[in-house]
Chains A and B, each alone.
Chain A
Amino acid sequence: MPYMMAGYPDRESGLAVAAAYVDSGADLIELGVPFSDPLADGPTIHDAATKALDGGATLGTTLEVCRSVAEQIPVVLMVYSNMVLAHGGASGFARLARAAGAAGAIVPDLPLGEAEDVREAFTAAGLAMVPLVAPTTSPERRAQICSVAHGFIYVVSTVGTTGERAEVPASLAGLVAATKADATTPVAVGFGIGTAEQAAEVGRIADGVIVGSRLVRAAGEAGSPQGAADAVAGFLSDARVALAG
């Protein structure tokens, strides 16, 4: 389940990366909506958002990427609260997202307790609201989050923002097992997974593995839309081999 930032490093590269994800046999695309102040993201994705915005990216840029691949693969938008508010609120935003073919949305700054109205509006529009579970989430709260999840549950592997880490925390297996026990949807893991080997390690315990910053970095360093597509396809192919092995 690869992540990408729309409009990064430019509009064409974003479209090329999404197409490469489809061709590489990804199960789902997590599509980042560029936002000026992404609190849950580390430096790599924050910088990518800043560059995308400097390059003129709008919500329209994201929805264009979504539209280009949504018939071939489920697309889940990663979008911050203020972007939802600014585009017609939860109902208005959900209509825009559904019209572009999005299957779901993750709102990383809308935790249980704040998310209820938005989830209701998303659900009514047919947009699944994917919640997050963190290592610091209490067992009672985790059960509540799982009981209202749509689509899948996003387990945050580690305490911190998005970004590559040297290793997968030892406590992750326990957290995934506990979440699976509460969940009626698939359980995917993200944050900090930066190598094919780490992806394989997490793939053995979770239903899905999200790779973000590593792929964003590859797309950014490539220098051309084709280069970006080749770079991310190379990583996904390595990950696939590692997962099979």
Chain B
Amino acid sequence: MMSANEGEQSTRAAVQERFGPYGGRYVPETLIAALDELTAAWVEAREDPEFVARLDLLRKDFIGRPTPLYLVQRLSERVGSKVYLKREDLAHTGAHKINNAVGQALLAQRMGKPRVIAETGAGQHGVATATACALLGLECVVYMGTEDIRRQAPNVERMRLLGAEVAPVEAGARTLKEAVSAAIRDWVANVETTHYVIGSAVGPAPYPALVRDLQRVIGEEAREQALAVEGALPGRVIACVGGGSNAIGIFSPFVADPDVALIGVEAAGEGMDTLRHGASLGAGSTGVLHGSLSAVLADEEGQILEAHSVSAGLDYPGVGPEHAYLRDTGRASYVAITDRQALAAFGELARLEGIIPALESSHAIAWILENPGADGFDVLCLSGRGDKDMAEVVSKGAGG
């Protein structure tokens, strides 16, 4: 018979808390019990055939998985090497965020928590969470900075239509960082009845591992599809990185394949020589933000800086801890693309392929346009569709 303490230790050991030195649980004491509860619930649920079957069925019939791995002929010609897109833009609600939201909403239901909160930047995670909550009959409150509410008006309307309350956040730059902080404060106050569906592979343990596990389906499908159609693994796997959930989801199943290069594309905003970017991995330091130790944009005093990106989903001064570890070990490389390059790629993919990409994913497209593959073929995660970005792109006079 194990003591209660040993039981808790072994449960916690079953979910990865640290990625090298990164990760951890840098949160107020009040939340520790809830993080333990969530860890235990996930360890149990992922071994429970009934839960797994339910998640699989929802992935197939509600989300529409597997999403296609699609050879983009004209883009490939333009790039000069063969490019496949992993079409997360075709998932229900138009982005990969639904993979995580459905999984976590099922967990909330399993834990008996009737209320769900979330933060959102681009609005995609908010819409995904509102959708999953509508599906399961859970109360839903989404925190969103007022600057993002302005930039992403259609998604605000969608969340409201789905029955969620959109709670405006006025603090700081009124974007994603403040929305996460507001959600964590709500969680501290309502932890006994509320589950916090964090939208990226960030936050205190177990979230980075939990979100990765739920997004891993992107990479598992892509790997299988690549082998089926090409009989080989891709030379490179490319994804945009804000918090980094689509990237860690598609990278994970390839980490053990040493010949597959993993490339994360961060937001260089107005340029890496300015302070107006979102490249935590490329230009940040090691620090604590929103509950984990990772790469953050901070000044010499330790104050967290505001990020900047034309895409709300990359407008975040932190990044998931596992990415910081993959960077340090050299297993993945991280590059950055400016607002201007991303806006150009947004229009380029639309005209060449009839696919309007999310501004977030446009960063990855922009990178591959300038960096053709040497051999074989590449897989690029098209993390979401760009309809939500139309107003922003038109206002910048770009893309068309």
Contacts and interface: CB of A to CB of B under 8 A. Distances in A.
Secondary structure class of chain B's binding surface, majority of residues: mixed
A161 B189 contact: yes
A35 B287 contact: no
A61 to B, nearest CB: 10
Nearest to A46: B171
A86 interface: yes
Interface string B288-306: 1111000010101111100
A83 B288 CA distance: 9
B288 A81 contact: yes
B191 interface: yes
A39 B32 CA distance: 14
A20 interface: no
A138 B302 CA distance: 32
Interface stretch (A9-17, A103-111, A171-179): A103-111
B191 A82 contact: no
Interface stretch (A128-136, A202-210, A219-227): A128-136
A159 interface: yes
B25 A134 contact: no
Contacts of B184: 39
Contacts of A39: 27-28, 181, 184-185, 188, 290-291
Contact-size category for B: 35 or more
A53 B29 contact: no
Contacts of A36: 172, 303-304
A137 B177 contact: no
B228 interface: no
A7 to B, nearest CB: 12
Contacts of A82: 287-289, 296, 298, 302, 304
A81 B287 CA distance: 8
B27 to A, nearest CB: 6
A50 B171 contact: yes
B171 to A, nearest CB: 7
A118 to B, nearest CB: 11
A159 B298 contact: no
A86 B285 CA distance: 9
B27 A111 contact: yes
Contacts of A133: 29
Interface string A145-177: 100000000001001110000000000000000
Contacts of A159: 30, 188-192
A111 B29 contact: yes
Contact of A156 (B25, B29, B171, B172): B29
A242 interface: no
Nearest to B318: A37
B199 interface: no
B303 A53 contact: yes
A137 B289 contact: no
B24 A114 contact: yes
B329 interface: no
Nearest to A114: B24
B143 to A, nearest CB: 14
Given A50-B171, A86-B300, A160-B189, A109 B291 contact: yes
B34 interface: yes
A156 B30 contact: yes
B229 interface: no
Interface string A39-59: 110100010001001000011
A86 B301 contact: yes
B11 interface: no
Interface in B48-63: none
A245 interface: no
B172 A138 contact: no
Contacts of A114: 24-26
Contacts of A140: 4-5
A9 to B, nearest CB: 18
B181 A111 contact: no
B191 A109 contact: no
Contacts of B298: 82, 86
Contacts of B189: 159-161
B286 interface: yes
- Most A CB atoms within 10 A — which of B25, B26, B304? B26
5 contacts: A82-B296, A86-B298, A111-B29, A114-B26, A161-B189
Given A39-B291, A114-B25, 14 more contacts: A36-B303, A39-B28, A39-B185, A82-B288, A82-B304, A85-B302, A86-B301, A110-B26, A111-B25, A111-B28, A113-B25, A114-B24, A132-B29, A159-B188
Interface of B: 4-5, 24-34, 171-172, 177, 181, 184-185, 188-192, 285-291, 296, 298, 300-304
Shortest beta-carbon contacts, A-B, top 10: A86-B302, A160-B189, A134-B30, A40-B28, A136-B33, A81-B288, A83-B302, A36-B303, A134-B29, A82-B288
